[in-house]
Amino acid sequence: MTQPDQGDIIDGVHYHQHDIVIVGAGGAGMRAAIEAGPSASTAVISKLYPTRSHTGAAQGGMAAALANVEEDNWEWHTYDTVKGGDYLVDQDAAEILAKEAIDAVIDLENMGLPFNRTPEGRIDQRRFGGHTREHGKAPVRRACYAADRTGHMILQTLYQNCVKHGINFFNEFYVLDLLMSEVDGIERPAGVVAYELATGDLHVFQGKSIIFATGGFGKIFKTTSNAHTLTGDGVGIVWRKGLPLEDMEFFQFHPTGLAGLGILLSEAARGEGAILRNADGERFMERYAPTIKDLAPRDIVARSMATEIREGRGAGPYKDYVYLDITHLEPAVIDAKLPDITEFARTYLGVEPYTEPVPVLPTAHYAMGGIPTTNNAEVLRSNTETVPGLFAAGECACVSVHGSNRLGTNSLLDINVFGKRAGNNAVAYAKTADWVPLPEDPTAGVRRLLDHVRGGDGSERIAVIRRELQEAMDRNAQVFRTDESLREVGDLIKTLRDRYRNVQVQDKGKRFNTDLLEAVELGFLLDLAEVVVYSARNRKESRGAHMREDYPKRDDKNLMVHTMAYLTGDAESAEADDHIKLDWKPVVVTNYQPTERKY
């Protein structure tokens, strides 16, 4: 085809050209944009307005060994990250995360982020689960924070700085395809195709470097802290292009979601001294993690809570939750450092945290797995080979810096450290790269997808299929798993995929057709849930957030490796065993050999 220029409209399709095209306007996407914008023409495409991105829901803090409050150093932070991830962490990536954490916090401070302060005026720090001094001897104050609204403050600060740099934002544009073209025998990204919500028009964004920063996919579960928009679009697009996904079986369940709702109460509460109690009022974490108790890593706390409930010590009329108790804390401390947490408890459960314990239950929170990348945020097409010009950062990516269980506060750190690296490396690549030609009829695939969904006249409803998927994932693939439970949900996903081909979208229009886009998002959810379940069935061990009751031990001899899943056929028309192939990638070990995790 004749290559269009910036601003062309051909057959109703709008064409754009930017050196750097960033998909996603959360923390990782905007941090990348701040690095890229001053040096190259940069476009940020987002299905939301940037300040509504899910980074804004992060509450507790961002880890960095500043040692402002007590002795600390980056090596202890590295050790905690590796041990917390149950030794599936690539240790060279963890070293980068911990070393560059200090500059990442100072960068945000210089951008204007209003961190809480010590009386001396330094950035204040508090305790968080799994963070210790002297390689596990005692908890340490490492989390830099802005009350319990740290993510919100980071998001606002990054957006203001993007505006200052004149970044081009395309808000309420849904990216639905990654365009690839062969150059010198190698498949390279040429751009992306986006659907404009306001008009229903299609837009092609041609870029020399493409960065995916689209967040997680927690909506495969019913009980989740994730926003409704976290449907894994970016991860699903990459998957459908035949590129691998890494460690998808590892999904973190945050211990303290509001019971029955999943709305998150930050680990900051336990950092300030909150205590988990069972129906008898017992501080049960003393039995499971006698050294750091309620500040153990999230996988350990979540399993401990689930065990208490299973063994009959749960609270409430159905004995199906435990309590988070902050009644012993001074109201002034609660108001100053935990205002959102207390407001959530009052608003959604009618509980007064000053005087009553708050009912909590583990909730699906964070995907450790995703698009595999190098430490420079370059996307991998195999264990060692990268895709030139394609980058990923944030929750959609797997560096792997979180291994099989992410430590609290390391996600806000991850988006800043690796978002920055993605931006810098994307610019370096774009400076010497030529434009990759767009394929013939670049919007053909998206048109087929939308026409198929919009034109369907079947009897199935999107909401019904989505609810059945989410309930089955909660029931069979949550804190505890077995081969039987995973097989059950895997079989259901095949059935739901058949039913998905028979969905009907009631809104046939073009403008603001959220019904249409929810149907497309459901397709991504089905794809990713299937990869999660298939990868989990094939990891016959328990490690981090992946707890197999039929394989309760960690198997370092055979499974100290990353899972690499590949789509080998058409996901829409094949059985899982036919279209998903698994491979393994070695874990990078530098200083810390696997040992038993004791807290």
Question: Which residue do the tokens 């499971």 mark?
Answer: 288
Residue type, 59: Q
* Backbone φ and ψ of 364, nearest 5°: -60, 130
User: Residue-wise over 189-218: b if at least 16 C-beta within 10 A, else e?
Assistant: bbbbbbbbbeebbbbbbbbbbbbbbbbbbb
Rounded to the nearest 5°, which phi and psi values hold at 131? -95, 125
Under DSSP, the state recorded for 54 is: G
Catalytic residue positions? 298
Beta strands in 313-355 (DSSP E): 322-325
Cis status, amide bond into 400, omega within 30 of 0: yes
What angle separates helix 233-240 from helix 514-538, to the nearest 10 degrees? 70
Structure tokens at 340: 């959102």
The residue behind tokens 């968080």 is 128
Among the listed residues 277, 273, 306, the one whose alpha carbon sits nearest the alpha carbon of residue 139: 273
Contacts of the segment 587-592: beta carbons below 8 A, 24+ positions apart: 587/87, 587/88, 587/89, 587/90, 587/400, 587/560, 587/561, 587/562, 588/90, 588/91, 588/92, 588/93, 589/91, 590/91, 590/92, 590/95, 591/78, 591/91, 592/79, 592/82, 592/83, 592/87, 592/91
CA 305 to chain centre: 23
Residue 473, Cβ density class (10 Å: 0-12 exposed, 13-18 middle, ≥19 buried): buried
pLDDT of 455:
83
Phi, psi of 185 (to 5 degrees): 80, 5
What pTM value is reported for the model? 0.95
**Are the C-beta atoms of 454 and 508 separated by less than 8 Å?**
yes
pLDDT at 468: 98
Torsion of CA 41, 214, 169, 30, to 10 degrees: -70
Between the CA of residue 460 and those of 9, 15, 89, 494, what are the distances in Å?
36, 35, 42, 15
CA atoms within 13 A on the CB side of 265: 36
> How far apart are the C-alpha atoms of 407 and 288, rounded to whole Å?
18
Report the pLDDT value the prediction gives residue 106, as an integer from 0 to 100: 97
Q: Report residues of the chain scoring pLDDT below 50.
A: 574
Q: How many residues does the chain have?
A: 599
For 259-303, the pLDDT digits (tens) are 989 898 888 889 899 999 999 999 999 999 999 999 999 999 999
Closest to 520 in 3D by CA, of 470, 452, 576: 452
Contacts of 214 (CB under 8 A, 6+ apart): 23, 24, 29, 175, 232, 233, 234, 235, 394, 396
- Which amino acid belongs to residue 469? L
The Cα–Cα gap between 82 and 560 comes to 13
Tokens standing for residue 394: 């944030």
The tokens for 118 are 């010590």
Instruction: Tell me the H-state helices in 42-149.
Output: 74-84, 91-111
CB 102 within 8 A of CB 66: yes
Are the C-beta atoms of residues 274 and 250 closer than 8 Å to each other? Answer: no
CA distance 141 to 60: 12
Of 107, 97, 91, 114, which is closest to residue 63 (Cα–Cα)? 97
CA 439 to CA 1: how far, in whole Å? 7
Angle, helices 483-500 vs 514-538, to 10°: value is: 150
Q: What residues pair up with 405 in beta bridges, in sequence order?
A: none
The partner residues of 564 in beta bridges, in order of sequence, read 246, 583
Burial class of residue 311 (count of CB atoms within 10 Å of its CB; 0-12, 13-18, 19+): exposed
Q: Is 461 exposed, middle or buried (0-12, 13-18, 19+ CB in 10 A)?
A: middle
pLDDT tens readout for residues 539-576: 999 999 999 999 999 999 999 999 999 998 765 554 55
The first and second tokens of residue 454, run together, are 């919009």
* Residue tagged 């001094």 (tokens): 133
Nearest residue to 396 (alpha-carbon basis) of 536, 243, 571: 243
**What's the confidence (pLDDT) of residue 336?**
87
Q: How far apart are CA 106 and CA 129, in angstroms?
A: 23
